Amino acid sequence: MESSLLPALVFAALLLPAGLLGDRFGRKWLLVAGLAIFGLASLAGAFADGTGGVIAARAFMGLGAAIAMPLSMSMIPAIFPPEERTRAVAIWSASTALGLPLGPLLGGWLLENFWWGSIFLINVPVVVVGGLAIALLLPETRDPAAPRVDGVGALLSMGGLVALVFGVIEAPVHGWGAPPVVGAFVLAAVLITGFAYWEGRVRDPMIDLRLLRDARFGWALVAAVAANVVMGGALFVLPQFLEAVQGNDAFGTGLRLVPLLLGLMAGGLATDRVAPRTGHKPLIVAGLGVLAAGLGWGALTGAGTGYAAVWPWLTVTGLGLGLALIPAMDALLSALPPDQAGRGSGLVQTLRQTGATLGVAGLGSLLSAVYRDEVRADGLPPEAADAARDSVGGGAVAAADRLGDPALLASARDAYASGMDVVLLACAAGALGTAVLLWRFLPGGTAAPGAAPGGDAAESTHEHVAS
């Protein structure tokens, strides 16, 4: 199994059970435990001796992340009152987005100046500071009436998500019609259908499926997943464009992604100021429109386009993401009953991450198809031709450098830019289509915090324990 696949599978499998466990046993200390697992796994990865140790470390990092992600989100409605929640969601979203440019920027700098294990070791002090802050500053929250983890439901959900993520990750590698990929999708469909059937009949379900029938929650979830898919697609194609096509190193690539983050933060600030007056719907729809405009603008980029023409559309794209994603997340949290904060957050994070994985797989196949069709590798030695058609960075650029073939290099860069433009155009169309659907079907106004699905007030069994 590829080293990049195992942590993704662990992460996908455990998002739902982690949220439920947080509801039942306490979100604060389970969050600290998730951070501790992530930190210890990072420490082990930094000093791992061999590939097996690194793969195991990354798997446990996926476990820690799967625990921490839904719980960090579920604590927001438990701690912040409605008038402060939008700002908290904006800060949470901006902090998670900070890793977009910071990851390649810091990782590139570490690899250039230190040994490879430093990219794992850097996580440890961050985890220590974060864990201490949570332990000392945050109150404990839990729901004593939360159901126990249902073994059958947990196995069905974990198996279905693992099969689905395996299929979408392996499809671009082996082809969408390859027997292992088709088998994974069939298994995922059977297990996820079985999970939905089981949850609808078991006495204490892991997830209240009525949430998905609530128009406010359901359509806000569509907006959040769509924004995640678009963001995943953009971040899949942009780093290679900035590095392999425009010739920047890893540090320079990360630095050039900063306008995307700044735009997202600006969107968060605007949401904090405007949402209390307008509600979620106008902001989400407008944000998706701005996002579509930014991506459509980006689809005009060519291989020779200078960065002076790239950063403006990156900023607009980030602004659209902030205006769409942050109010969508706020709407989701406001529609969750307090006693389902962990389970609901686990569902949201699971669908967001799965949607992003599906989107990246599909968009990656689209990019690959355009690139392979346009790159000119005729007349090259077979090995060099295969490498050039496989990828632009480690394939075409390396082959052109080895062969001293500037025509191949120019062709590969033009082909990749064409593929990126098609992907950005597809993302723009998806954002615009989602905006139209939300304008039509997302209810106006803001859901009352703690409202039960369907609009009825829910009796909160939420217990707030100061610690």
User: What CATH code is carried by the domain that includes residue 103?
Assistant: 1.20.1250.20
pLDDT more than 90, % of the chain: 22
Higher pLDDT among residues 247 and 446, named by residue: 247
In a domain, 395, yes or no: no
Alpha helices by DSSP H, 299-340:
311-335
* Cβ-proximal residues to 376 (8 Å cutoff; 6+ apart), any chain: 407, 408, 411, 415
Q: Name the domain count of the chain.
A: 2
131 and 264 co-located in one domain: yes
pLDDT, average across residues 190-205: 85
* Structure tokens belonging to residue 236: 């899949």
For the cut 50, the answer to whether the pLDDT of residue 27 exceeds it is yes
Query: Using one digit for the tens of pLDDT, what is the confidence trace for 86-95?
Result: 788 878 877 7
pTM: 0.80
Q: Which residues pair with 465 in a beta bridge?
A: 140
In a domain, 467, yes or no: no
In a domain, 391, yes or no: no
In a domain, 194, yes or no: yes
DSSP structure class, residue 311: H
**pLDDT at position 461:** 36
Last residue of a domain, one of 172, 205, 238: 205
CA geometry: angle 416, 267, 27, nearest 5 deg: 100
In a domain, 315, yes or no: yes
244 and 196 co-located in one domain: no
**pLDDT at position 66:** 82
Last residue of a domain, one of 205, 224, 252: 205
413 and 445 co-located in one domain: yes
In a domain, 393, yes or no: no
88 and 237 co-located in one domain: yes
pLDDT, average across residues 69-78: 78
In a domain, 461, yes or no: no
320 and 367 co-located in one domain: yes
Distance CA 168, CA 156 (A): 18
Query: Using one digit for the tens of pLDDT, what is the confidence trace for 266-290?
Result: 888 888 788 888 888 999 999 999 9
Interstrand relation of 140-142 and 463-465 (parallel, antiparallel or unpaired)? antiparallel
228 and 246 co-located in one domain: yes
341 and 425 co-located in one domain: yes
181 and 254 co-located in one domain: no
Confidence of residue 342 (pLDDT cuts 50, 70, 90): low
272 and 307 co-located in one domain: yes
Least confident window among 43-57, 304-318, 417-431, 453-467: 453-467
Range of the domain at 236: 5-149+206-379+408-455
For the cut 90, the answer to whether the pLDDT of residue 428 exceeds it is yes
451 φ/ψ angles, rounded to the nearest 5 degrees: -70, 140
pLDDT more than 70, % of the chain: 84
Last residue of a domain, one of 162, 182, 205: 205
256 and 154 co-located in one domain: no
**pLDDT at position 339:** 65
In a domain, 392, yes or no: no
Least confident window among 153-162, 224-233, 397-406: 397-406
195 and 313 co-located in one domain: no
126 and 219 co-located in one domain: yes
Mean pLDDT of the chain: 80
Q: How many CB atoms lie within 10 A of CB 180?
A: 13
